[in-house]
Amino acid sequence: MGRDTKRSASGIDAALVRRLRRNQYTGAVVNLAPSAFWLGVFFLAPLAVMFLFSFGQRGAFGEVLLAPENLGLQQYREFFIPDDRSLIGGLWVTIAWAIEAIVPFELSLTSGQATPYVRLLFKSIGYGVVATVVSLVVGYPMAYYLGHLAPERYQNLLVVLVILPFWASFLVRIYAIQLLLSANSVLMNALAVLPGIGADVSLMNSRFAVLLGLVYIWIPFMILPVYASIEEIDFTYREAAMDLGADRLEAFVHVVFPLSKPGVMAGSVLVFIPSAGAYVIPELLGGTDSQMIGNLIADQFGSAGNWPLGAAASFVLMGVMLLSIAAYQRGGGELA
């Protein structure tokens, strides 16, 4: 009797197991569940909390007010709209200011100025763009050499030499830059050969230092994807182009470069995103005039004590990053 029920119970178990194993979703659920749980609870939920905070208000003692009557777009308004303006007027001033800043010639569309937050956001994007362009201009020729011209015996070694610094400690490498840019360093003594520069000059705490740090840290992220796509190019296309009368430059511009474009785009996104969102590099290498949006966020959650504004700034920054990824995907790029 007892044995019978036991057997039938295990029979039901076996049937259940068999049905579960046949079900198309079982494998997916089992494999997804741990990560979905972890990312849901310890990544998305915290972001949701922060998102909620970005609609809150700062109380008199720096606390965050989240009661329904306090919720609103006021932090985003403070971020984007200059004090004394209406919504439309403020938007116009911001856009006009941005156009004035971007066009290379003198143009006066507005007497007003964008909010300090918007100016900081633009500056951060500018740093990101400059770091990306410099990395591309410096990194592309090197990637071309590694991917196409380097003797095959040394190719792996040369690539590993690009990868190694990327694995070595980030903070230590920033400190190394600091050692070079400080007054009386080896570099400054070398530069003192030039007229008008003394060895006791320090290049630290400047925009130059921040940009140099960004390029130094992120340039492997440009070199490696470009190298990977150049290595895959079938260079007989280039020969074909030259047989058909293209000179070397034309063959490069019309054949080789377009074929390497996936690597260039991937590298640009990989350099731009961490550069625009940098926090440690401007903190350690920059001065008061070279802080970025990441520092603003940290300040709002620290000494400035306006958490809702910091939360709003975080989401504005992430919006910029999503836009750059969207642009990348529109251009035909794929994630990973």
Phi/psi for 204 (5° steps) reads -70, 165
Site for another protein in 126-145 (CB under 8 A): 138-139, 141-142, 144-145
Distance of CA 139 to the CA centre of its chain: 17
Distance from C-alpha of 273 to C-alpha of 158, rounded to nearest angstrom = 26
Contact mark string toward another protein, 287..306, x via CB under 8 A: -------x--xx--x-----
Binding segment toward another protein, per CB under 8 A, in 4-12, 74-82, 106-114, 146-154:
146-154
Work out whether 2 is an interface residue with another protein (CB under 8 A). Answer: no
* Smallest separation (angstroms) from another protein to the CB of 336: 5
Residue 178: CB minimum distance to another protein, A: 7
Give the binding range for another protein (CB under 8 A) out of 99-107, 126-134, 160-168, 237-245: 160-168
Residue type, 125: I
211 binds another protein (CB under 8 A): no
Q: Does the protein bind another protein through residue 235 (CB under 8 A)? A: no
Cβ 113 to another protein, closest distance in Å?
26
Q: Say which residue the tokens 């290595």 belong to.
A: 231
C-alpha pair distances (Å), 302 with each of 230, 282, 287, 298, 313:
45, 16, 18, 6, 14
**Residues in 52-91 at the binding interface with another protein, rule: CB under 8 A:** 53
Examine residue 180 and tell whether it contacts another protein (CB under 8 A). yes
Q: Alpha-carbon distance 146 to 162, whole Å? A: 10
As a dihedral over the C-alpha atoms of residue 222, residue 228, residue 229, residue 233, rounded to 10 degrees, the angle is 140
Of positions 5, 35, 108, 111, contacts another protein by CB under 8 A: 35
Q: Which residues contact 50 (CB under 8 A, 6 or more apart)?
A: 311, 314, 315
Do the beta carbons of residue 330 and residue 290 sit within 8 Å?
A: no
Q: Per CB under 8 A, does 167 bind another protein? A: yes
From the CB of 116, what's the least distance to another protein, in Å?
19
For the bound state, the minimum distance from the C-beta of residue 235 to another protein, rounded and expressed in Å, comes to 14
Assess 169 for contact with another protein (CB under 8 A): yes
- Residue 18 interacts with another protein (CB under 8 A): yes or no: no
Which CB, 16 or 164, lies closer to another protein?
A: 164
Place of tokens 């750059």: 324
The answer to whether residue 241 forms part of the interface with another protein (CB under 8 A) is no
Q: Least distance to another protein from the beta carbon of 169, Å?
A: 5
Distances (CA, A) of 273 to 127, 196, 242, 262, 270: 11, 36, 37, 17, 6
Contact criterion met (CB below 8 Å) for 155 and 283: no
Residue number, 96 or 238, with CB nearest to another protein: 238
Quick one: tokens of 54? 């970005």
Please give the sequence-ordered ranges of beta strands (E in DSSP) within 23-130, or none if there are none. 57-58, 64-65
Least distance to another protein, CB of residue 223, Å: 8
User: Which of 85-93, 108-116, 217-225, 255-263 is the region at the interface with another protein (rule: CB under 8 A)?
Assistant: 217-225
Tokens of residue 145, six digits: 């050499």
Cβ 219 to another protein shortest distance, Å: 8
Are 259 and 237 a contacting pair, CB within 8 Å? Answer: yes
Residues 6+ apart with CB under 8 A from 311: 50, 51, 53, 54, 56, 75
Contact between 184 and another protein (CB under 8 A)?
yes
Site for another protein in 88-127 (CB under 8 A): none
58 versus 97: smaller Cβ distance to another protein:
58
Asked if 166 interacts with another protein (CB under 8 A), we say: yes
Q: Which of 4, 5, 22, 24 binds another protein (CB under 8 A)?
A: 24
